[in-house]
Structure 1
Amino acid sequence: MLEVSGLRAGYGATEVLRGLDLCVQPGEIVAVLGANGVGKTTLNKVLSGVVSARTGTIRFDGQAITNASASAIVEAGLIHVPEGRKIFPNLSVRENLVLGSYRRGRARRAQNIERVFSTFPRLRERAAQAAGTLSGGEQQMLAIGRGLMAEPRLLILDEPSLGLSPLLVEEMFTLVRTLNQEGLPIMLVEQNVVQSLDLATRAYILENGTVALEGEAATLAADPALRRTYLGL
């Protein structure tokens, strides 16, 4: 579904991604792990067309999207749920969801809203409520629901557990597993190492803008030297 090769990107004179390679196959959950500042969010922004790649290639479902616009990438079905939720606080829950189908999924908007409400019953209860008045967990549900409105072919989730209570983190990871079991490939970008490795098929560990380690998630999780050196466990 997604192939990234030799990707370099940054801001001004600062290079953040330094020749990064990764891929996501159909049906997988791929975890991209690392501490703050290693390039995870920059990677997501480049994949979404918000930040330009300096060199390297990005292919989505066989098509080159390295220099594609953000709107074209959304229309292709590569959907990014950003870190920090980035909901529209003064709009209602329903209005936020409607905006999720602005570029893609418009023809089935009503059915998709119903699907989101079935997945997140609390959003149905708060459909007319201003999104900024929701709890942190409810806002994360809304951000993911808005992403689902675009009928993603690959969903990038950037730190979905950030700022949530342990119980809500567990709910969020259960949701990710359910979406994947329904056939949606997911790239999970997280600092929550233990649960991400438990959930994922494969994992990449970033360090200084490149891939320091990669492999089957279960193998990485079980290796004590790798846990100690790269994951701080």
Structure 2
Amino acid sequence: MLEVRGLRAGYGAVEVLRGLDMAVAGGEIVAVLGANGVGKTTLNKVLSGVLPAREGEIRFDGARLDGATPAAIVEAGLIHVPEGRRIFPTMNVRENLELGSYRRGRSRRAANLERVFETFPRLRERARQFAGTLSGGEQQMLAIGRGMMAEPRLLILDEPSLGLSPLLVEEMFALIQRLNAEGLPILLVEQNVVQSLEIATRGFILENGTFAMSGPAATLRDDPELRRIYLGL
């Protein structure tokens, strides 16, 4: 569904992404993994149209998306749940969710809202509560739920486990698996190498703007170099 070829991007004179090639097929969870500052957020910004690509191609379901506006990318069904949740704290839970269907899925807003509430019962309980008063885990549920309101054809999750307790991290990865099992392809961008590779189909290890390693998740999990660099084993 998503194909990236020769992607280069950066800020001013600084080049951050240096010729990335990757793809996400229908039904997959593909993990892009790496430490802070290696280019993960820059990649997401380019895929979402917030930051222009300097070189390369981005194709979504065969159509070129490099150069498209963020609104057009959302309308195509490529939905990005950003790092840090980016909810609207002074709006209630329901209002935050409804904003997710502003560009896509508006005609089925009621049905999609019910689906989100079925997926996240705690959000139903807190539908009239200000989003800023939710716990960190509930805010992450809200951010993902808002993405679901746009009827994603592919969902980009940027650091969904960031700042969560170990128990909530387990719940979050179980949720990602469940969404994928329901037919939603997911691009999972994370620092959590171990748990991401447990649920992913394939993985890409990003270092200094290039993919240092890539392959089936099971192969990467057992790679001694990966275990040495990222797991300290």
Q: Say yes or no: TM over 0.5.
A: yes
One-letter amino acid of the counterpart of residue 194, structure 2: V
- Tell me if 1:40 matches 2:71: no
State the partner residue of 2:2: 2
After superposition, the C-alpha distances for 1:91-150 in whole angstroms (9 at most, x for unaligned) are: 000000000000000010000000000000000000000000000000000000000000
Unaligned runs of 5+ in 1: none
- Tell me if 1:225 matches 2:201: no
State the partner residue of 1:204: 204
Q: Matched residues, percent identical?
A: 79
**Correspondences of 1:119-130 after superposition (within 5 Å):** 119-130=119-130
State the partner residue of 2:74: 74
- Tell me if 1:147 matches 2:147: yes
Q: Tell me, what secondary structure is at the counterpart of 2:127?
A: coil
Give the Å deviation of 1:225. 2.5
Q: Tell me, what secondary structure is at the counterpart of 2:213?
A: strand
Q: TM-score, normalised by structure 2?
A: 0.99
Q: Tell me, what secondary structure is at the counterpart of 2:80?
A: strand
Q: Tell me, what secondary structure is at the counterpart of 2:110?
A: helix
After superposition, the C-alpha distances for 1:59-85 in whole angstroms (9 at most, x for unaligned) are: 000000000000000000000000000
- Tell me if 1:132 matches 2:132: yes
Q: 1:15 to 1:231 in 2, by over 3 A?
A: farther
Tell me the C-alpha RMSD between the 2 structures: 0.8
Give the Å deviation of 1:230. 5.0
After superposition, the C-alpha distances for 1:159-202 in whole angstroms (9 at most, x for unaligned) are: 00000000000000000000000000000000000000000000
Supply the distance in 2 between the matched residues of 1:115 and 1:171 (Cα, whole angstroms).
18
**Correspondences of 1:152-167 after superposition (within 5 Å):** 152-167=152-167
One-letter amino acid of the counterpart of residue 75, structure 2: E
Supply the distance in 1 between the matched residues of 2:71 and 2:35 (Cα, whole angstroms).
29
Q: TM-score, normalised by structure 1?
A: 0.99
One-letter amino acid of the counterpart of residue 129, structure 1: Q
Q: How many residues align?
A: 233
One-letter amino acid of the counterpart of residue 78, structure 2: L
Contact 1:34 1:231 in 2 (8 A): no
State the partner residue of 2:59: 59
Q: Tell me, what secondary structure is at the counterpart of 1:19?
A: strand
Give the Å deviation of 1:227. 1.5
Contact 2:100 2:148 in 1 (8 A): yes
Contact 1:87 1:131 in 2 (8 A): yes
State the partner residue of 1:97: 97
Q: 1:173 to 1:47 in 2, by over 3 A?
A: same
One-letter amino acid of the counterpart of residue 9, structure 2: A
